Amino acid sequence: MKAWVVERPARVAERALRLVEVPEPEPGPGQVAVRVQVCGVCRTDLHVVEGDLPQVRARVVPGHQAVGEVERVGAGVRGLWPGQRVGVTWLGAACGVCRFCAGGRENLCTEARFTGWTIDGGFAEVLCAEAAFVHPLPEAADAVHLAPLLCAGIIGHRCLEHTGVGRRPGARLCIYGFGAAGHVVLQVARGRGLEVYVATRDAVRHQPLARELGAAWVGDATATPPVPMDAGIVFAPAGELVPVALGHLDRGGVLVLGGIHMSPIPSLPYAGLYHERVVRSVANHTRADARAFLAEAAALPVRTQVEEAGFADLPDVLVRLAGDGVRGAAVIRVRG
């Protein structure tokens, strides 16, 4: 089968990804083999390819927003069958017994494995996944529009929940950086009755999309919203935005950092944190997050804005993503 692999991380402009022929993986006990139809392209993939996340394998297949069909099941698998449509997400496995897993926080498991980083992912014709971490998906939905929900949507949903205002109609939320996650979170937040403000530097693609999706205000990444915010979410991997966003919070406001990688955060004056303002990060997601978000996205419904590309075009898509050249989310089609 064909798969895109990273052996030596490098900037995407240097074409660190290689398209190679590898044997199809065979599912072990408790696993399923999934024939990939489409796979979303995420900033986390960019961080894997470019080495912002430490290299943990000699060679890895990135991609963690895969939609496909179960092709083969390993011993002991129940509830999944060949031909069933499923989604494979970032959280690929957790130990299930540590204090984090036992406390409902498997996203913090020290033995967790992650699709497209510590285990091979969806930029391949077939991938193997732990059956317990695979999510059944509706057969009637368009696979291309489902793919961004499997990371951008799930992580965005977790960020929204961690703001503490995600279910408080009328609360004011500002989103910093408006890519795949931002455009999904805006829809969920508006569906819950929040006022959503968007700060993003791209005036060609991202700002118009935010307006189309109903943002109450749209401005440059460092512009000051017209009113104080109850909460903010920083999706852009730019540490310099943290003190800016803190300065926009009202008393008691919460700022959530939604990325897996971020440039250094400048020193913060204590006055920026005073009056019980909070800064917190979000790390990974749980299976419960995925189930809750996918149900809510279907009920609203969330409509992803997608730029689709062919399997062979993945390196070019990553270059465009690195330059903020994607409107909404990027998805590659692995097979027709």
Segment 307-325 mean pLDDT: 96
Band (pLDDT 50/70/90 cuts) for residue 105 is: very high
Tell me the mean pLDDT in the region 111-139. Answer: 98
For residue 66, give the nearest of 174, 14, 143, 169 by alpha carbon: 143
Residue 213 reports pLDDT greater than 90: yes
Predicted pLDDT at 88:
98
- In 248-324, which ranges are continuous DSSP H helix? 270-273, 287-299, 314-322
Q: What does the pLDDT look like over 270-297, one tens digit per residue?
A: 998 999 999 999 999 999 999 999 999 9
Question: What's the rounded Cα separation, in Å, for the pair 239 and 264?
Answer: 5
> pLDDT over 90 for what percent of the chain?
97
At residue 211 the predicted structure's pLDDT band, cuts being 50, 70 and 90, is very high
Give the relative orientation of helices 287-299 and 180-191 as an angle to the nearest 10 degrees: 60
Which residue, 109, 151, 146, is CA-closest to 298?
Answer: 146
pLDDT band, very low/low/confident/very high, at 336 (cuts 50, 70, 90): confident
**Residue 12 — very low, low, confident or very high, per pLDDT cuts 50/70/90?**
very high
Tell me, what's the pLDDT at 189? 98
pLDDT of residue 98: 98
- Mean pLDDT over 100-115 rounds to 98
* 123 Cα distance to chain centroid: 15
CATH second-level architecture of 153-281?
3-Layer(aba) Sandwich (3.40)
Question: Would you kindly state where each structural domain of the chain is located, as residue ranges?
Answer: 2-140+305-333, 153-281
Global pTM reads: 0.96
Inform me whether the pLDDT recorded for 204 exceeds 90: yes
Average pLDDT over every residue of 119-127:
98
Residue 116 has pLDDT above 80, yes or no: yes
Query: Which position has the token pair 């990804």?
Result: 17
d(CA 334, CA 231): 38
* Residue 176 contacts residue 221 (beta carbons within 8 Å): yes
Q: Report the CATH superfamily, name and number, of domain 2-140+305-333.
A: Medium-chain alcohol dehydrogenases, catalytic domain (3.90.180.10)
Amino acid 36: pLDDT? 98
Instruction: Give the separation between CA 221 and CA 255, rounded to whole angstroms.
Output: 15
8 A C-beta contact, residue 91 and residue 107: yes
**Residue 35: is its pLDDT beyond 90?**
yes
Q: What is the pLDDT of residue 50?
A: 96
32 to 85, 128, 166, 248: CA distances (angstroms) = 12, 6, 35, 47
Q: List, for residues 142-188, the tens digit of each pLDDT value.
A: 999 999 999 999 999 999 999 999 999 999 999 999 999 999 999 99
- Asked if 263 and 43 touch (Cβ cutoff 8 Å), the reply is no
* CA separation for the pair 250, 231 (Å, rounded): 8
pLDDT for residue 251:
98
Give per-residue pLDDT as tens, 230-270: 999 999 999 999 999 999 999 999 999 999 999 999 999 89
2-140+305-333 shares its CATH topology with 153-281: no
Of 33, 126, 29, nearest to 74 by C-alpha is 29
pLDDT > 70: percent of the chain: 100
Number of neighbours of residue 163 by Cβ within 10 angstroms: 26
